[in-house]
Amino acid sequence: MPFLFSIVLIVIGMVIRLGVSESPVMEETAESEEQVRLPIIEMFRTSWRPLVQGALIFMGNGVAGYMIAGGYVLSYTVNDLDLDRETILTIISITSAVWIGTTILAAWTSDKITRKRTYHIGFISQLPWVFPLFMLIDTQNYGLIALGLIVLAIPLGFTYGQRSAMFAEMFPAKIRHSGDGLANAIGAILGGAFASLIATALQAEFGTSMAVATYIFVITAVALVATIMVKDRTGRPLTAEADAELNRKIEKVAEKGGGTPAHFERGAGF
């Protein structure tokens, strides 16, 4: 029944989307010669680096997030630890509510201290917590399990709230939807779709939840490295004209120094 009722959310989403105007950047692109006939081809040609970076970043959030939302924690605590299903569901619901709050806080924080630094706060705090988290879960104490999951909701929010803004800033306007959407989709598949299956297999193979914690730790470390490699463009203009102005400055510097101008295109490794 919940799945059937979700059609109401689809209708609400459509009404909201149809009532929201396009951003000035997208309207400018639609009226200019910057339009690309096959944006996904252009994206792979010029912006494959930020695509990979974005997928790895979102993978780091997804692999930990799907431990909660994907059902692994529920399955592990109920089936392996023989805990009460309703109580665990309540704890997960509370954790999800905290996650919503930290997501909003992270979005606001990223406007103040940049997207990258906000991501660093999230991933660096997520790295050490994954081991205490599963130690607390293995105590089979509901209070300690709640503590472990609620604390996890803090780094989860700080690796999620700024995602939309940062991914939009990583790609030029003419391929922004393709780059953002595909990076999000690939990251969700790599970090989310198979996360619970991998965690279950690791638990069965090694007989300890520490194997699952190690898996999350490794993926989080990869995501952290990916954020370090991203060029932060927080608050900078995202228009084609802004990129063109930067290219003119590059040409002037190259001409003055007798060098070869390296033209800038958002996403092309910058």
| Full pLDDT tens readout for the chain, 270 residues | 888 888 999 999 999 988 887 777 666 666 665 556 677 787 787 778 889 999 999 999 999 998 887 788 999 999 999 999 999 999 999 999 999 999 999 999 999 999 999 999 999 999 999 999 999 999 999 999 999 999 999 999 999 999 999 998 888 777 788 888 999 999 999 888 888 889 989 999 999 999 999 999 999 999 999 999 998 888 777 766 666 666 666 566 666 766 555 555 554 433
Question: Residue 22 has which token pair?
Answer: 């396009």
Give the integer Cα–Cα distance in Å for 123 and 223: 8
Q: Cα 169 vs. chain centroid, distance in angstroms? A: 14
Question: Could you tell me which residues come within 8 angstroms of residue 141 by beta carbon, excluding any fewer than 6 positions away?
Answer: none
Collapsed DSSP state (helix, strand, coil) of residue 151: helix
- Which homologous superfamily does the CATH classification assign to the domain defined by 39-234? MFS general substrate transporter like domains (1.20.1250.20)
72 DSSP assignment: H
Question: Could you tell me which residues come within 8 angstroms of residue 44 by beta carbon, excluding any fewer than 6 positions away?
Answer: 51
**What is the per-residue pLDDT for 2?**
80
**Residue indicated by tokens 């799907």:** 66
**Residue indicated by tokens 């988290």:** 133
**What is the per-residue pLDDT for 48?**
86
- The C-alpha angle 19, 21, 27, rounded to 5 degrees, equals 155
Rounded to the nearest 10 degrees, the angle between the axes of helix 24-31 and helix 240-257 is 80
In this structure, are residues 234 and 110 in contact, taking their beta carbons and an 8 Å threshold?
yes
pTM listed for this prediction: 0.81
Question: Residue 41 has which token pair?
Answer: 């081809």
Instruction: Count other Cβ atoms within 10 Å, centred on residue 62.
Output: 27
**Residue indicated by tokens 């790609």:** 171
**What is the per-residue pLDDT for 27?**
67
